[in-house]
Amino acid sequence: MGSVAHGDEAITTYSMHVSSKYLELTRKKLELTRLPRELELPEERMWEHGTPKRVLEPLLDFWLETYDWRAAESRFNSLLPQFRTTIRTTSPTGTQSLRVHFVHKRSTRPGAIPLLLAHTWPSSFIEVQRIINALTEPQYVPDMGGAVPQAFHVVAPSIPGFGFSDASMQEGFGLEGTAEVFWELMGRLGYSEFVAHGTGWGFSICRVLAIRYPKACLAVHTVNPAFKAPTYRQSPLQYVKWRIAELTQAKVPLLSFGYVGSDVELRSGQRREDLGMQNEIGNSQPLGPALHRLCSLRPQTLAFSLCDSPVGLLAALLDVIHTRDVAPRPFSGRPRSPFLSPVELEMQQSDEEQVEVGQVPSGLMPQSPEYTTREDESDGKRCTWSPTEVLNFTMLQWLPGPEAVSEHHPIRPPISYDS
């Protein structure tokens, strides 16, 4: 392991290597799994009560008989330059030192912009593997008028308590504590100014970064942020602007105040669902209202089950994947259920990994050599996941152990969309 600094601020290279003892313990737990009975429901209703056994059981068999964590570990280590450093934080409850894990890849291009990528829950730093080369060394795209795409120096840290970052044991650490850690990390890497991207919790962290450290975090980019509409009590002026935009369907530019039609449609649909008590699984409740409430208010109760049972954790994450259809999207051009059989998907993945990267869709975005565009990504159809992707996703949550390490932060109505 090498270092680029001294003392507490040392940055050391890091390679993933989970102990064989821990992997063997995981295998024993898988072998001792006892699956519950369940109602027999038709295929179109099989997700009504949560993750169905017919989806989970083949993945359990695949985990035991075929899945190779060492191969995944080797692939991630080869694709992602990883490091760790110790960051000290101070709060009203005391001082703590956290070992923070992160991916850091600098671009060779002049004028590259430092970019912080904050993952969400449940996710991890491995989600950057398919885009990191496209961001650091973007390819020339003729359809962009001859312009060279902007390059970035990429930093993708693991949120404290996720992946290979230490968990904070201080109550109330949450968003502000995480934002402070990320700000300190970027400064330690020599980036006094940077931009940030995140979705879900990642966006919430980036938003706090921009508000608390405006001279450092100069811009935040996100995709489909989950905002609640302004309320009259919180901000009368913003509430009036929102109501005008809603009444005009955001079709009149001077009366839209930055809102667009999809904002109005989304909020109107959510209000109808709230009034009718239907479809209670919203953008901020990926596990449904009951389990979401348990995770939010009584996380320690649930942590005992998820921390002891890899299959219990897998079941919870499968429900999240099915409900949210979160990244990464796997290889499949079929508009089917989010999960095909392990054999079917592994064959598809093996075949498609050998396909050369084609032209960038619409010529608008740089493309990474590790990433192959699938047919269903451009036509809005729901994608499937391969068993390997599901289990990689699960392992990065299983390895540190699901614990009560991060407070849930309910999404509050913003003063405005640009705040």
Phi, psi of 365 (to 5 degrees): -125, 145
Structural domain ending residue among the three candidates 197, 221, 245: 221
Q: Is the pTM of this model over 0.85?
A: no
* Residue ranges making up the domain that contains 118: 80-221
The two tokens of residue 155 are: 């930093």
Contact 316, 287 (CB under 8 A): yes
Residue 54 near residue 46, CB atoms below 8 Å:
yes
Of 137, 112, 160, 151, the closest CA to residue 369 belongs to: 137
Q: Is there a single domain that holds both residue 137 and residue 214?
A: yes
pLDDT, tens only, 58-93:
999 999 999 999 999 999 999 999 999 999 988 777
The verdict on 301 and 343 lying in the same domain is yes
264, 282, 300: which is the final residue of a domain? Answer: 282
96, 190: one domain: yes
Q: Are 293 and 255 within one domain? A: no
For residue 106, give the amino acid letter. Answer: R
Among 66, 375, 324, smallest CA distance to 200 is for: 324
Query: Is the pLDDT score of 321 beyond 90?
Result: no
- Assess whether 36 and 116 both reside in one domain: no
Residue 182 vs residues 7, 59, 72, 196: alpha-carbon distances, Å: 19, 35, 27, 10
Q: Are 126 and 196 members of one domain?
A: yes
Statement to judge: residues 211 and 331 lie in one domain? no
The count of domains in the chain is 3
To the nearest whole percent, how much of the chain has pLDDT over 90?
Answer: 41
Query: Has residue 138 been placed in a domain?
Result: yes
Digit-coded pLDDT (tens) for 257-266: 888 887 777 6
Band (139; pLDDT cuts 50, 70, 90)? confident
Specify which of 82-86, 233-237, 341-345 reaches the highest per-range mean pLDDT: 82-86
Tokens of 381: 């159809």
Of 342, 347, 355, nearest in space to 391 by CA: 342
Task: List all residues 6 or more positions away from 124 whose beta carbon is below 8 Å from its beta carbon.
Answer: 158, 162, 163, 393, 396, 397
